[in-house]
Amino acid sequence: MSKKIDSLLFPSFCANCKADTPEEPPSLRWLCLNCHKLLIVRWQKVSFKPEISESYHIFDYQKDKLAKKLIHNIKYDFVKEIADTFYVALESERFNFRKLMFDFILPIPLHKRRFKEREFNQSELIAKKISEITEKPILEDIIKRKFYRRPQMEVKNREARIKNTQNIFECLDAEKIKGKTILLVDDVATTGATLKECARTLKSAGAGTILSFTLAQD
Ligand SMILES: [Zn+2]
Give me ligand 1 centre to Cα 118, in Å.
25
Å from CA of 32 to ligand 1 middle = 4
CA-CA-CA-CA dihedral for 98, 169, 160, 70, to nearest 10:
40
Rounded to the nearest angstrom, the distance between the alpha carbon of 169 and the centre of ligand 1 is 39
Hey, which residues does 212 pair with through a beta bridge?
55, 184
Q: Is 211 helix (H, G, I), strand (E, B) or coil?
A: strand
CATH code matching the domain that covers 43-57+93-217, chosen among 3.40.50.2020, 3.30.540.10, 3.90.550.10, 3.40.30.10: 3.40.50.2020
What's the 28 CA to ligand 1 centre distance in angstroms?
9
Of the pLDDT bands very low, low, confident and very high (cuts 50, 70, 90), residue 11 is low
Question: For residues 140 and 93, what is the distance between their CA atoms, to the nearest angstrom?
Answer: 24
Select from 133, 132, 201, 152 the least CA-distant residue to 173: 201
- Binned at pLDDT 50, 70 and 90, residue 1 comes out as very low
- Cα 50 to ligand 1 centroid, rounded to whole Å: 41
* CB half-sphere exposure, 173, CA atoms < 13 A: 8
pLDDT at 149: 80
CA 24 to centroid of ligand 1, rounded, Å: 15
The pTM (predicted TM-score) of the whole model is 0.91
Rounded to whole angstroms, the Cα distance separating 175 from 102 reads 17
Average pLDDT on 41-65 reads 96
Q: Ligand 1: distance of its center to the CA of 30 in Å?
A: 8
The terminus-to-terminus CA distance of the chain in angstroms comes to: 37
- Sketch the domain layout of the chain as residue ranges: 43-57+93-217
Instruction: Report how far ligand 1's centroid is from the alpha carbon of 92 (Å).
Output: 20
Ligand 1 geometric centre to CA of 218 (Å): 23
pLDDT at 109: 94
**How many angstroms does the Cα of residue 131 sit away from the middle of ligand 1?**
29
Per DSSP, the three-state class of 108 is coil
Task: For 161-180, write each residue's pLDDT tens digit.
Answer: 888 888 899 999 999 999 99
